[in-house]
């Protein structure tokens, strides 16, 4: 079966084509083409995604990306068996462009459509590795599975009891983790998207601490108390542990998250620093320290709640997906804590992150999720009824 997938939920116009061979225990996927046209350069000016602009760009890009994708795959569109399209969650004006485009193709070439939930796509994003072919293991032994989905729009913990059987354990009550990275980066005049910038600065600070240039090297610790900050003079010569940010909701009984208070704490921190020295952010060291403490706070919170859920549900497989899953510190800390579970809880949980190119939005993950929708005959019966659902849930 050949699937053509279209993804336009945010600021990437993405189209992919896969060819799938059904086997009894697993399905073998061959990537015929996988293209992502990113609008990051356009949205940089606004410090975030501007929906009307995203819509305009998708409309302009879709036919061009399709042409390139068919050319890369060396096939004619008539050879496609199903069109998979993201219908939500995401920015509705952006989602509609992909849906309208899919409908036009469907009518013109008489190809059925399967709607795909973007978050389900992120779950499937961990299967492709290096190379053009990959397998999706449908073996029961990988369940129960847990998925931590962290992106610019979402932060959710999903219990996957079996394929397509999802239960949302918790989610952010305000900002998504990626959104917090972007907003904090903006406060420090760093370009959009902020995640990779903050991460780079935080890692620089960690290497400096490790290389011994700061005597009281710090192991990140989970601070129960929120002591906003102890400031010395103009902020110069501050050590990392003098900047303490909160870990919102880390000890709450549920699996929810909150990042808006953390973001506000950074805002106040910068305001206080600037009162003492208006040019304080010209000091790269200060930026590195704020970035590190902020990243520590986000990562500790994400890891803490994930580990708690793994223990409670005796999770066999953890999947981390979404733009923030590219964060190297999150990967490192998650791996470390999961390893500890072997001794402490006799849990042999396997953790999977997508390959770097598939952490962000892409159509390959939509193609995989779409294949399973098609395999289960979840085709849209009346294409006029297909609609964008900005808040679609798993
Ligand atoms: O999944 P994605 O590409 O798009 C959405 O669906 O939102 O995620 C984008 C988000 C942005 O907020 C970006 O800052 C964040 O992922 N991000 C990172 C990193 N790389 C991207 N956040 C933290 N560390 C990173 N290395
Ligand atoms: Zn996404």
What confidence score (pLDDT) does residue 209 get? 85
With a threshold of 0.85, does the pTM exceed it?
yes
The response to whether 150 counts as a known ligand-binding position is yes
Atom of ligand 1 nearest to the CA of 326: 26
Query: Counting ligands in written order, which one lies closest to the CA of residue 365?
Result: 2
Can you list the residues of the chain whose pLDDT is less than 70?
A: 212-241
Is residue 64 annotated as involved in ligand binding?
no
Residue 151 marked as a ligand binder: yes
Distance 356 CA to ligand 1 centre (A): 11
In the structure, which protein residues have their CB atom closer than 6 angstroms to any atom of ligand 1?
10, 151-153, 178-179, 181-182, 193-196, 199, 322-324, 326-327, 360-361
Ligand 1 atom at minimum distance from 90 CA: 6
Q: Whose CA is nearest to atom 14 of ligand 1?
A: 195
Q: Which residues surround ligand 2, an ion (CB under 5 A)?
A: 151, 361
Please give the sequence-ordered ranges of beta strands (E in DSSP) within the chain, or none if there are none. Answer: 2-7, 12-22, 26-38, 82-88, 113-117, 133-137, 145-150, 155-162, 165-171, 317-321, 350-352
Q: What does the pLDDT look like over 300-355, one tens digit per residue?
A: 999 999 999 999 999 999 999 999 999 999 999 999 999 999 999 999 999 999 99
DSSP string, 100-113: HHHHHHHHHHT--E
- DSSP letter string, 120-174: HHHHHTTS--SSSEEEEE--GGG-SEEEEEESSS-EEEEEEEETTEEEEEEEBSS
State the ligand closest to the CA atom of 324. Answer: 1
CA–CA gap between residue 278 and residue 271 (Å, rounded)? 9
What's the confidence (pLDDT) of residue 238? 52
Nearest-angstrom CA–CA distance, 178 and 175: 8
- In angstroms, the Cα distances linking 356 to 24, 39, 113, 129, 216 are 30, 18, 29, 10, 33
pLDDT of residue 137: 77
Domains of the chain, earliest start first: 2-128+356-385 (3.30.420.40), 171-352 (3.30.420.40)
Name 249's Cβ contacts closer than 8 Å, sequence gap at least 6. 173, 256, 257, 258, 301
């Amino acid at each position: 079966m050949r699937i053509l997938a279209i993804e336009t939920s945010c600021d990437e116009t993405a189209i992919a084509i896969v060819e799938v061979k059904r086997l009894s225990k697993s399905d073998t996927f061959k990537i015929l083409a996988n293209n992502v046209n990113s609008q990051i350069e356009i949205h940089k000016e606004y410090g975030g995604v501007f929906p009307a602009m995203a819509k305009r760009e998708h409309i302009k890009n879709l036919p061009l990306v399709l042409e390139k994708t068919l050319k890369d795959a060396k096939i004619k569109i008539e050879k496609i068996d199903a069109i998979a399209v993201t219908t939500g969650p995401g920015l509705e004006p952006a989602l509609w462009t992909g849906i309208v485009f899919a409908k036009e193709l469907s009518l013109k070439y008489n190809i059925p459509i399967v709607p795909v939930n973007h978050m389900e796509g992120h779950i499937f994003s961990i299967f492709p590795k290096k190379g053009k072919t990959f397998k999706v293991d449908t073996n029961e032994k990988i369940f129960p599975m847990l998925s931590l989905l962290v992106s610019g729009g979402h932060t959710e913990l999903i219990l996957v009891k079996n394929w397509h059987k999802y239960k949302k354990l918790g989610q952010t009550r305000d900002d998504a983790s990626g959104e917090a990275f972007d907003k904090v980066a903006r406060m420090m005049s760093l370009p959009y998207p902020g995640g990779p910038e903050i991460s780079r600065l935080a890692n620089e600070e960690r290497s400096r601490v490790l290389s011994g240039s700061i005597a009281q090297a710090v192991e990140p610790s989970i601070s129960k108390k929120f002591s906003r900050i102890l400031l010395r003079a103009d902020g110069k010569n501050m050590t990392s542990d003098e900047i303490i940010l909160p870990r919102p909701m880390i000890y709450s009984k549920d699996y929810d998250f909150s990042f808006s208070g953390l973001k506000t704490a950074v805002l106040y921190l910068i305001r206080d620093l600037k009162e003492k020295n208006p040019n304080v952010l010209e000091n790269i060291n200060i930026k590195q320290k704020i970035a590190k403490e902020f990243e520590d706070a986000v990562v500790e919170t994400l890891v803490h709640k994930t580990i708690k859920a793994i223990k409670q549900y005796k999770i066999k497989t953890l999947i981390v997906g979404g733009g923030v899953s590219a964060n190297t510190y999150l990967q490192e800390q998650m791996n470390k804590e999961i390893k500890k579970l072997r001794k402490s809880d006799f849990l042999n949980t396997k953790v999977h992150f997508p390959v770097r190119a598939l952490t962000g939005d892409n159509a390959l993950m939509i193609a995989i999720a779409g294949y399973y929708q098609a395999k289960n005959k979840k085709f849209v019966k009346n294409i006029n009824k297909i609609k964008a659902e900005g808040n679609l849930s798993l």
